[in-house]
Amino acid sequence: MPVFFIQSHDVVDGVITVVEPLRSHIAKSLRAKPGDVLIFNDDQERRYQTIVTQITKHQLQVTIQRVDAPPRSTCPPLVLAQALLKGEKMGWVVQKATELGVSTIAPLITDRVILKLTGKQADTHQARWHRIALEAAQQSERWTLPTILPVQTFQQFLEAHRQDHPIVMAEREEGASLLTIHCSTEKPESRVTVIIGPEGGWAPKELKAAQSKNWAFASFGKEILRAETASFAALAILKARFNT
């Protein structure tokens, strides 16, 4: 059953009021009717088991039957920094990364990306990625929505993450396996960041810049993976490693 995301202010006295566009989706696309069971998550990480009580042209109301807290996770927040990919590939990465539980997605402009988004074009793509992430989170019954950062350059990402220790996935570079590479997760605010390059690979100066920050390097071995495949593989390995 999909989970629908609402704001905590939509909950008043044990009743959730759903308005457009989610109302239409539930009432028309899913053909919900009074008595049906629906599940909602709010921005405070609360999950509501509900029963539909009223559907009108302007709103849908459900009565809360139970409120659940999120289960404890052993996995630190996962951050995916992904160089922009052309066509539908970036949308696929956002969708699958959301299904795999990432907390944050950072779209990057690197030297060899083909899709160099700026201004309104970047805003349009980001709005689309938000919709894709929302749909994927609902389908996979996530407790939270991932944060999708504004498009930024690789240099901007370097400067913003000076104190972090991300893992750069790089082909033909000597690097450790994601199964064994050190991940500093002792502090409560610790997160694991993995950075994936574009279809054309990393430029030498970008690798040198990452090395100057003492960022870790990892690889998948001798095989050269497509950029979108590398994202899925890296996240899946890290999820399995942290037993989630």
Q: Give the start-to-end residue ranges of the domains of the chain.
A: 3-68, 78-241
Burial class (CB in 10 A: 0-12, 13-18, 19+), 58: exposed
The enclosing H or E element of 217 equals strand 216-218
Nearest CA among 2, 244, 206, 230 for reference residue 97: 230
Task: State the CATH class of domain 78-241.
Answer: alpha beta
- Range 3-68 classified under CATH 1.20.1250.20: no
Contact 211, 102 (CB under 8 A): no
Rounded CA-CA distance 147/129 in Å is: 10
> pLDDT 10s per residue in the chain (244 long)?
789 999 999 999 999 999 999 999 999 888 999 999 999 999 999 999 999 999 999 999 999 999 999 888 777 889 999 999 988 899 999 999 999 999 999 999 999 888 877 788 888 999 999 999 999 999 999 999 999 999 999 999 988 876 667 889 887 666 688 888 877 665 545 788 999 999 888 999 999 998 888 888 888 877 788 889 999 999 999 988 887 5
Rounded CA-CA distance 42/20 in Å is: 16
